[in-house]
Amino acid sequence: MNFPFPTVWRLIDNFKEQCRLTGWETCETEDWIKTEDNKYHSFLWTQTIHPSTFEKIAKNRKCGIRRGNSYEVVNISYTGWLFQERPPEFLISWIKENTELSQKNAIFDLSCMYTGKNICRKINETKSSVFKEFEHFLEEGWNIEFKHADELPTLTT
């Protein structure tokens, strides 16, 4: 990689631009993408998260999105969690062990990119076309290789 990896904010903005070019609806001020089948795919990025907060967000499929001067409550089909720092191992285990969560939530551990490595952990068992395209976007544009979380060692602290 010849130039520094962008912040998560910039990365999502660049990806949303690509999505607009393919005909998917995006929002300038929020991190969601609506596909042609009317499914909403939401990106959430965080450095760390408390277990109860993760559970509430991961299980709640509703989200308020801005439409002009008002808000509309929509069902979020899939949520992609982006981590700039290594996500807690409880989260990786929880997603792997819970089929309902793993079908609707993907985890992308981008922490290695910020230390100059190009192999990142992921859990993406969703059927989200947006998240698959996001992986492709990172592989092609930033030379990232994704490995399933089971294929890479966990951190011991």
Convert the pLDDT of each residue in 75-117 to its tens digit: 999 999 999 888 888 888 888 899 989 999 999 999 888 888 8
- Hey, is 21 helix, strand or coil? helix
Q: Pick the closest to residue 53 from 75, 81, 73, 86 (CA basis).
A: 81
The one-letter amino acid code at 100 reads E
Average pLDDT over residues 12-31: 93
How many residues in the chain? 157
CB 119 within 8 A of CB 149: no
Q: Residues 23-44: pLDDT tens digits?
A: 999 988 889 999 999 999 999 9
Predicted TM-score (pTM) of this structure:
0.88
pLDDT at position 153 is: 61
Compute the chain's Rg from CA coordinates: 15
pLDDT at position 113 is: 84
User: How far apart (Å, rounded) are the C-alpha atoms in residues 105 and 124?
Assistant: 7
User: How far apart (Å, rounded) are the C-alpha atoms in residues 21 and 112?
Assistant: 29
